[in-house]
Amino acid sequence: MRKLDRYIAWNVLASMVMVLVILVVLESMFAFLGELDNVRGNYQMVDVVVYILLLIPKKIYEFIPVSALIGCLAGLGSMASNSELVVMRAAGVSLWRMVWSVMKPALVLICVGIVVGEYVAPTTEQIAETRKNIARSYNGEYSGEGVWHREGNEFMYFNAVEPNGVLYGVSRYVFDGEMRLKESSFAKRAIYQQNHWILEDVTRSRVEGNKVVSEKVNTEPWNTSLTTTLLKVVVVKPDGLSISGLNTYTNYLEEQGLDTGEYALAFWTKALQPLSIFSLVLVGISFVFGPLRSVSMGLRIFSGVITGVVFMIVQNLLGPSSLVFGFPPLLSVLLPVLICIGIGSLLLYKAA
């Protein structure tokens, strides 16, 4: 029986990995072609290649759920086409035993997803975005590719960010309690030294009555709650952060009295990804033993692609809807998962 379990698991795992590789390669090719439009100045072809390569871990993490679904359909489907599943059932192997055998490679992908999403992808994406923004930041001028950040009544924009504690092109806008501009400044660089920031080459303009007073200084200290730890979070979009990073930045936003909805949504999406993979694999298994047991391989894969796309569309629609209409982000992530588990369980119950 163990040999049978290993045989099913290896067939399904090989299909899942093959689908994952194909999807990541295709997505990377399209991303490379799209990024070519940004080649200019210091941002050249070599930088584009490095940028795309550094984003591969993030793409692997994003495609694991759909790859698990399509790979499950392809692996089990090939066995069904060769009548191997029929022979196993005739030999007395229960349906639920085969379901467990298929879930084992899914658990492998879940573990890979946790490691990549928590430790690899956030770091490589930080490096990728930092390299790109620095290359596209010309002489400290506004590049349009930087990062906005808010702290109380102060709004900040950084042309480029190095997570180790260097900011390039720091624009700051300070408002009063009625959100009227009091002061704006621009520093070519900011360096984090001995637990505080030092601004370099600062140009400042202050509103004093009916006139604007400007001044320039070589260096000055900058008092802010933004640390290098938070900086590693700010430089990356919410969907590219680790679960721990999302939790850290959410707490920081709550302390500043700012909205945390977008980061809470990203947190629950990542935290529940293992359950999403489980639900999609369960649907894939139920399709093979249920309505798709006698169709061609092409139709099975097509059905898997459609199911995966619909799943992602529903999650992508419910997520922003939760931010607009105010219902819990957890519900928007959990609802499609529960629907898939319900459909998969029902079809397997009928097939048993």
DSSP annotation string for 91-148: TT--HHHHHHHHHHHHHHHHHHHHHIIIIIHHHHHHHHHHHHHHHT--TT---S-SEE
Which among 278, 285, 277, 280 has a CA at the least distance from the CA of 79? 285
Work out the end-to-end distance of the chain between its first and last CA atoms, rounded to an integer number of angstroms. 19
In a domain, 250, yes or no: no
In a domain, 344, yes or no: yes
- In tens, the pLDDT along 153-168 reads 899 988 877 767 788 8
Q: Which residue has the higher pLDDT, 294 or 22?
A: 22
Q: What pLDDT was estimated at residue 297? A: 64
Quick check: is 289 in a domain?
Answer: yes
| Residue 335, in any domain of the structure | yes
Residue 293, pLDDT > 80, answer: no
Is residue 254 in a domain? no
Q: Are residues 123 and 22 in the same domain?
A: yes
Same domain, 229 and 342: no
Q: pLDDT tens digits for 103-135? A: 999 999 999 999 999 899 988 988 888 788 777
Best CA proximity match to 19, nearest among 278, 292, 311, 308: 308
- Number of domains comprising the chain: 2
- 271 with 198, same domain: the answer is no
In contact, 238 and 132? CB cutoff 8 Å: no
* Owner of token pair 């920081």: 252
Residue 167 lies in a domain: yes
Amino acid 250: pLDDT: 83
Residues 7 and 120 reside in one and the same domain? yes
Of 302, 246, 312, 244, the closest CA to residue 273 belongs to 312
**pLDDT by residue (tens digit) across 209-266?**
778 888 999 999 988 888 777 777 777 778 888 888 888 888 877 877 777 888 888 8
Buried b (16+ CB within 10 A) or exposed e, 96-130: eebbebbbebbebbbebbbebbbebbbebbbbbbb
- Domain holding 65, by residue range, is 1-135+260-350
Beta bridge partners of residue 351, listed in sequence order: none
- Whether 90 and 180 map to the same domain: the answer is no
Classify residue 237 by burial, with Cβ atoms within 10 Å: 0-12, 13-18, 19+: exposed
Question: Do 20 and 126 share a domain, yes or no?
Answer: yes
**Same domain, residue pair 125 and 153:** no
Full-model pTM: 0.80
Same domain, 266 and 131: yes
Based on the fold, state whether residues 224 and 287 are members of the same structural domain.
Answer: no
Contact criterion met (CB below 8 Å) for 147 and 157:
yes
Please state the rounded mean pLDDT for residues 299-327: 82
Beta strands in the chain (DSSP E): 147-151, 154-162, 166-175, 181-193, 196-208, 211-222
**Mean pLDDT, rounded, of the chain:** 84
Q: 99 and 8, same structural domain? A: yes
Whether residue 278 contacts residue 106, with contact meaning beta carbons closer than 8 Å, is answered with yes
Q: Are residues 130 and 265 in the same domain?
A: yes
Among 202, 236, 270, the domain boundary falls at: 236
130 and 155 together in one domain: no
Contacts of 318 (CB under 8 A, 6+ apart): 331, 332, 333, 335, 336
